[in-house]
Amino acid sequence: MPLNLRVLAPDKSVFDDKVEEVILPSTTGQLGILPGHISMVTAIEIGVLKIRIQGIWNSIALMGGFAEVESDEVTVLVNGAELGKNIDATSAEKELEEAKNKFSQISDEANSPEKIQAKERLEKANARLKATIS
């Protein structure tokens, strides 16, 4: 009995299909979902969602949001998402290097808006690159 996974971003449906297993990047750590999982809602970090279809793992870069599990239906509502297979690894690496440089150039004032934005950009770039590898 498979899971039905839907990944929805504000501007599009990123993924909608049956899968064998889902690993979510929740705010409390990696969360594995198999058929028969209890109902739940969890916050999603910027990170990589992993899905297993016919024994093969695929990845989706997620930009934070929420996930709901209910009766073998997994719905992931996120601020943005991108299939790993659609991300150009070379441009993702370049984006990560630029984000690292920008982050390191900002003063160490922990809660400055610039530092927070730079950290989020770095996390997003890192998730995009990881999604190309996974």
Please give the sequence-ordered ranges of beta strands (E in DSSP) within the chain, or none if there are none: 3-9, 12-19, 21-26, 29-33, 40-53, 56-70, 73-78, 81-83
pLDDT tens digits, residue range 39-60? 999 999 999 999 999 999 999 9
Query: pLDDT band at residue 104, thresholds of 50, 70 and 90?
Result: confident
Query: pLDDT band at residue 129, thresholds of 50, 70 and 90?
Result: very high
Query: pLDDT band at residue 134, thresholds of 50, 70 and 90?
Result: low
Spans of all domains in the chain: 3-84, 88-133
Rounded Cα–Cα distance for residues 20 and 104 (Å): 40
Query: In the prediction, which pLDDT does 103 show?
Result: 86
Mean predicted confidence (pLDDT) in 79-97: 94
- Label the pairing between strands 73-78 and 3-9: parallel
CATH of domain 3-84: 2.60.15.10
